[in-house]
Amino acid sequence: MTIAWQDEQKRLTPDEVQSASFPLSRLGRRGYDEEHVRAFLREVERELVTLLNEKVSLWNEVERLRRRIIAGMKTSGDDGVLFGREDAHVHAVRILSNAQLTADRYVADAQAYSHRLTEEARSRRDEILAAAQQHADMVLAEAQSRAREAALATLNAPAPAQPMESDRSALKAELAYLRTFGEVYRTHLRAYTEGMLRSIAEWERSEAGAIEQASADAAGSFSLGQP
């Protein structure tokens, strides 16, 4: 929440650093790699949070000492001017707060990691799909062009003497087209199917491995679902 960081004057907040965006440079112009800039901004944001927290901690400590000194002067303090019983609670609060911040950071890191993984998986999937689509288009185009060549070759064979012959040669050309088209397609389909079968075998192997690993883990300590 930005509001929580606002001072009397407008100050730069960690959230603003985190969500800063810059216009892309024009095509052909040199610019910084976006991921590097993002990573650096994340680091700046973390540092800013740490500094702000430290600043407040120091402010608290100054306030506490000031109060103790005033209280000490009033009661011409005999017992512990610098650390009294009421401070113990504030210290406990501080310890718990630090523990909470650590927990928050763990959760945030885990979430960021999971975000990155799913994002990568998603874009990888898109790439694979696009490549497959492109490949399919290519196969189709290749089959068509090869078949056309075959048909042309048949047509360009020694000129037919009679009209009957021309019909036959057209049929032969079409046959050559279809046969070549079919062959090219079959070859690609075979390669594709073999690839799929290899993938399935790999999945099976890795799954078997994972199950073995899991049962080995389960035999040890099973702590899933524990906080």
Residues found near other proteins in the complex (CB under 8 A): 1, 3-8, 49, 52-53, 56-57, 59-60, 63, 89-90, 92-94, 96-97, 100-101, 103-104, 107-108, 111-116, 118-119, 122, 125, 133, 227
User: In this structure, what are the phi and psi dihedrals at residue 30, rounded to the nearest 5 degrees?
Assistant: -75, 140
CB-based contacts of 151, cutoff 8 Å, min separation 6: 173, 174, 176, 177, 180
Find the shortest distance in angstroms from Cβ 225 to other proteins.
8
With respect to other proteins, which residue has the nearer C-beta, 115 or 190?
Answer: 115
CA atoms of 136 and 187, how far apart (whole Å): 13
C-alpha distances out from residue 102 to 13, 83, 155, Å: 20, 26, 79
For residue 226, the number of C-alpha atoms closer than 13 Å in the C-beta half-sphere is 4
Min CB(108)–other proteins separation in Å: 7
Cβ proximity to other proteins, 38 vs 198, nearer residue:
38
22: its two tokens: 């810059």
Are the beta carbons of 72 and 81 closer than 8 angstroms?
yes
Q: Compute the least distance from the CB of residue 107 to other proteins, in Å.
A: 4
Residue nearer to other proteins on the CB measure, 94 or 168: 94
120/194 with CB nearer other proteins: 120
Nearer to other proteins, 99 or 175 (CB): 99
Distance of closest approach, residue 109 Cβ to other proteins, in angstroms: 10
In the complex, least distance from residue 83 CB atom to other proteins, rounded to whole angstroms: 17
Task: Give Cα separations from 101 to 18, 34, 50, 96 (angstroms).
Answer: 18, 29, 10, 9
Structure token digits, residue 126 = 């898109």
CB of 21 to other proteins, least distance (A): 14
Task: Closer to other proteins by CB, 66 or 190: give it.
Answer: 66
- For every residue of 89-114, DSSP letters joined together read HHHHHHHHHHHHHHHHHHHHHHHHHH
